[in-house]
Every structure is written in C-alpha cells, then in structure tokens.
Chains A and B, each alone.
Chain A
Amino acid sequence: MNILRILLIKTILKNRWPQFVIMIIALAGFLLAILSGLFGTPVGSRNFGVVFVWIAWWAILMLVTVPFLGRGWCSICPIPAPGEWLQRGAMLGPRKQGEGLRRRWPNRFRNIWLQNGTFLLVALFSTVILTQPRVTAIVLAAFLFVAVGASLVFERRAFCRYLCPVGGFIGLYSQLAPIEVRVIDTTVCAAHTEKTCYTGSAEGYGCPWDVFPPGMVKNTYCGACMECLRTCPHDNIAINIRSFGADLSVERNRKLDEAYKAFIMLGATAIYSAVLLGPWGALKLAAYSVGTLHWLAYVASFLTLICLALPGTFWLTVWSGKRLSGSELPTKKLFIGQSYALVPLGLSAWVAFSLSFVFANFSYVLAALSDPFGWGWNLLGTAALHWTPWLTGLTPFLQVGVLVGGFIWAAAASRKIAAEKAGSAQAVKLSAPVIVFCLAFTLTLMGLLVA
C-alpha cells in the first residue's frame, strides 16, 4: 500500500519544513547532550547527555524506529545537518552553490567495512562511553566534526553512507521494516533522461545517499530523506507499507561486508548482555578500565569472538548444511546468503537486550530533563524524582517472547534463502544447521538475559 496516496501524508513529506523543524529540535537536543556532557555533572545517571542519548534515544531507536520505520531516524538525524547545510549553501531547498570539494567517495571504500570498523571502535570503549558524560560528549562532538568534514570534502552524505557507526546497523536492520521508499514504475524512470532523483533539480537535491532510486531493491542505503519524492517530476515515488522483512528475500546485492555487520551486531549484543547486564563485576571493570591489561584481554576476547569465532562457527554451520544437502553452490555464496537470516535474529536480540535496561532506568530521563546539567535546576519539577524501575516484573516475559519470535523469523528466513537456489527438500537440509545455530544463539542470550 502506497501511503503517499493519502494527500496529507504526501504534502507533509514533500514539504521541507516539517522535516527541518524536527531536525532542528533534534540538533538542539544533540548540542544540549554535548554541552551537558562537557559542563554538567560527571554522574552519568544525572546527566542529560548520558541519560538522553543512551536511554531515551536508544529506546526510541531500537524499540520503535528501527523495527517499524527502518531508517526513519536517519531522515531526521541532526548529525549530518550542519555539514549538509554548508555543502549545499542552504538550510532548506536548493538555492545556490555551497561549499566543499565535492569529491567522489573512493571506490575501494564504497562498502560498509569502514562502518563495521567504526562500530567496533566505539563498541570497544562503549562501557566508558555509556557511563561517562564527558566521553559521551566527546564522541558525539567527534561524530559532528567528522560529518562536517566529510560533507566538505566529499559529495552527498558520505558520513552517513560510509562512516557512521550507527547508520551501519540501522541500514542492516531497516531491511526488516514494514515500510519502503521505492519507484512505482521503472519504465517511467527509463524514459526520464534527466534522472533528477539522482542529479537533483530546482525542487530538490539528487539523492544525498548516493542511491539511484530506480535501481533500489532494498532499504539498506535509503536514508528516507524524501529528496527523490521532491525531485521526481512524474510522481513516480511510493512509500509502501509492506510485510516485515521483505528485503531478506531480495537476492541481489548480498555482500560480505553486510554479512559481517550481522555478525558484529549479533556478537556485540551477546557480549554486552554478559558484561553489562550479567552479575560478573570483574567483567564490567575489565571493560571499563581502558588501557589496562584486563581491558586489553577484554578487547582481545571481544574481537576474537566477533570477528573470528562467530563467523568461523557460522562458516562451519553453512558448510555442514552444504554437505548435508549436496548443494553445488560455493560455500562463500551460501555463507553470505545465509548470514542474512541473522538479521532478524540480531534485531530481536538487540530489542531484548535494550528492554533489560531501558525500562529499569527510564525514570532517570524525567530527572535529567528537569535538570540537564545536574546543577540543581528543576525546570519541570521532576528533578528530585528517585530512581523508579519500570516494568521489571514484565520485562523477562517480553524478552522471552521477542527472542523466540526472532528465532522463528530467522529460521523462516534461512529456509527461504536456502530455497532460492534449491528444491524444497534440499533447502530443508541446507538451512537445518543454520537454524540450529540460530537456536543455540537464542538460548544463549535467553540464558544471559532471563535465567
């Protein structure tokens, strides 16, 4: 169903002002998070920067926008905004020549390996970033500066597309969202020689995400910025409501860098569940004590598990499925294809992980809103609110439901991907080991979060 048939929605999305206003509000919140991190209380649970970013924003991102809106957050993300305004020389519609060198992003980096790297870099320091306001502020400011720099050197949104550690996993999981921006009729595009959706026009910019809309078959790199909606002179852009996970069935453009992103996200959620939410104090201190031998051991374990052990085990899993089924396809192709079954498994794992601490700590948000810097203000009258855990009795039930649901989804995806190049019986054998892998991961995470 194309929701742009509803005139009100189409008008709102085509107009730049609603998106701009939300982005400005988000930017104000982002700058406040940086300022409160730098100048506010060093107590994380009382500082707007830590509380708002790692509890409120994270909750909205992982529990709402990513599962239901895909890259919905990217469409209003404030981080690339200042750089993009400079690059365009305008804050709204295209008016004049902007600043910057407008270089093309190097071909060898036109993938998400760098994003995998930036995510791992942030992940290794995450225990400190999550808990120390000043470090949170420095990281957020670094994102902003790198985004501005990327906009001034490269064309379009190079930071979002190739560098942002958050954008990488949002893109991966946006394949599951029940919403997509797509071209209605590609023959209309074929006859449209100007290709304004990519090159831009007086109505809007060429795709900031460097995606050619007529060729788009997956959500992964579509930032839902609505520029193509504005620049298409033929009204040939749709925003479709679709079934969850529709992109997993798309065989085209499956790549090793995205497969690795699935492993990184899967491994990270298991490690965080053990380190942050487990009862083992020594693990927490090791992850927190940056630069010490314990931390180095943590880093080595983290990287070994995520970059070697998990993909290695999965490779063996896929290889055994190949042997079992007698498939003639190369193991690498099967490995990459089957790794997309880990996308729903990973998202459900992150949702279950997030449920653990988001509700338990959400009451800090109300206090931090009232006193963002921890300076004794009481803007909303809620600064003195004591910590009140919410829904902690219900959370484990939700987590079990989410994890089992994620497993079913992953298993169905594995079977469906296997069936693309195999008969039904062969697909069953090909996917069986992968399904067992997914089951083992699900039970491990359930053990860490619920048992």
Chain B
Amino acid sequence: MKRMVVSWAILGAAALLVAFAHINVHPETPGIERVFRVEAGDFAYSPAVLTVNPGDKVTIELVSTDVVHGLYVDGYDVSVTADPGQPATLSFTANRSGTFRLRCSVTCGALHPFMIGKLQVGSSLLFWRGIGLAFLALAGILFFRQPSLATEN
C-alpha cells in the first residue's frame, strides 16, 4: 500500500512537472524580420503553415485571389482583411511560442469557418507536454496500476 502511494506521488509529481515546468527551449536571441506573402483563396492559405522563431518580427502580406478574405491569428488576437487585388499587411512580434491557428475573419463562402492555416512559433511546447503526459499516463497504467482487477468486479 505504501509503495503504491509513493508510486502515485512520484507519477503525480512528474505529471505536474511535465505540465507546468518552465522550459526555455529558445535561448534569448534577437528576432529577425520575417515577411510572408500569403495567398488566400479557395478556402485555404498558401503557404498554409508559417514557421518563425520566438522574437521574430512577422509581417504577413495577405493577398486575396478570389473574394474578400481575412486572417486572424489565434493567441495573438490580431487580424487583417484583404480585398481581391488589394493586398493588406499585418505586422506583429512573435513573442509567444507554440502553434496558433490562422482563421479567415471575413465570411468568404461556404467553407469559411474551416479556412484555417497555422503559425508555428518555435516548437509546440504544448504538444510536447501533451505527449509527455500521455506517456506518463501509459507508464502509470502499465507499471504502477496492478491491482487484482478480477476481484474488483
């Protein structure tokens, strides 16, 4: 019983560490200017995934190729709208790491709610934390949880 409690305590502590520990995977480096020309059309962005480093100054030139489109960046709460033939520019500093969805912010047609792209700022720490938590759970289930299950029922 005591061993079980200790095992669970260790597992719980590890889970808390994986979930909340401050991990600085990107050493402080001066950001650089990154300019993307993003074409919006047919309910998709091209390129669909923008990859930058934390601290970079990001400039997105949104070019609509069919109807009016917008581009909203989850987590950063910034957006831009472009009419066809009239590119518009959005600039911001990528000061938050992770993966953020780009969403069309102007109703552009049937598939509008699903017009989605991605902004990748450094590594997706949340995803890695998720993987870590899942493997910890696996370890807990495979190695720690060994009660006599047949008698439980």
A interface list, Cβ under 8 A from B: 43-46, 127-128, 131-132, 249, 276-282, 284-285, 288, 357, 360-361, 387, 389, 392-393, 395-397, 400, 403-404, 407-408, 411-412, 415-416, 418-420, 422-424, 427-428, 432, 435-436, 439, 442-443, 446-447, 450-451
Contacts and interface: CB of A to CB of B under 8 A. Distances in A.
B110 to A, nearest CB: 4
A415 B149 contact: yes
Contact of B101 (A43, A249, A392, A411): A392
B51 to A, nearest CB: 12
B17 interface: no
Nearest to A424: B148
Contact of B44 (A43, A132, A284, A389): A284
Interface in B85-129: 98-99, 101-103, 105-107, 110-118, 124, 126-127, 129
Given A423-B150, A424-B150, A435-B142, A387 B105 contact: yes
A120 B153 CA distance: 36
A277 B134 contact: no
Interface in B16-59: 42-46, 48-49
Given A389-B103, A416-B152, A422-B150, A404 B130 contact: yes
Contacts of A416: 149, 152-153
A363 B107 CA distance: 13
A86 to B, nearest CB: 36
Given A392-B101, A407-B138, A411-B137, 4 more contacts: A131-B111, A396-B99, A412-B141, A416-B152
Contacts of B102: 279
A427 B149 contact: yes
A427 B150 contact: yes
Contacts, number: 146
Given A404-B134, A411-B137, A427-B150, A357 B127 contact: no
Given A400-B129, A407-B134, A423-B150, A131 B141 contact: no
A277 B114 contact: yes
Contacts of B142: 428, 432, 435
B48 A280 contact: yes
Contacts of A446: 127, 130-131, 134
Contacts of B134: 403-404, 407, 439, 442-443, 446
B130 A408 contact: no
B127 A419 contact: no
Contacts of A422: 150
B37 to A, nearest CB: 16
B75 interface: yes
Nearest to A55: B113
A420 B153 contact: yes
Given A389-B72, A416-B153, A451-B127, A127 B111 contact: yes
Interface of B: 42-46, 48-49, 72, 74-75, 77, 98-99, 101-103, 105-107, 110-118, 124, 126-127, 129-131, 133-135, 137-138, 140-142, 145-150, 152-153
A283 to B, nearest CB: 9
The 3 A-B pairs with the shortest beta carbon distances in the complex, nearest first, are A281-B44, A419-B149, A279-B48
B107 A131 contact: no
A408 B103 CA distance: 32
A284 B141 contact: no
B138 A411 contact: yes
B103 A360 contact: yes
Nearest to B149: A419
Contacts of A424: 146-150
A416 B72 CA distance: 45
Contacts of B106: 387
A439 B127 contact: no
A432 B150 CA distance: 16
A407 B137 contact: yes
Given A389-B74, A419-B152, A450 B99 contact: yes
Nearest to B150: A419
Contacts of B75: 392-393
B127 to A, nearest CB: 4
B62 to A, nearest CB: 15
Given A280-B48, A428-B142, A46 B107 contact: yes
A285 B130 CA distance: 31
A105 B32 CA distance: 69
A279 B117 contact: yes
B138 A435 contact: yes
Contact of A400 (B115, B133, B135): B133
Contacts of A280: 44, 48
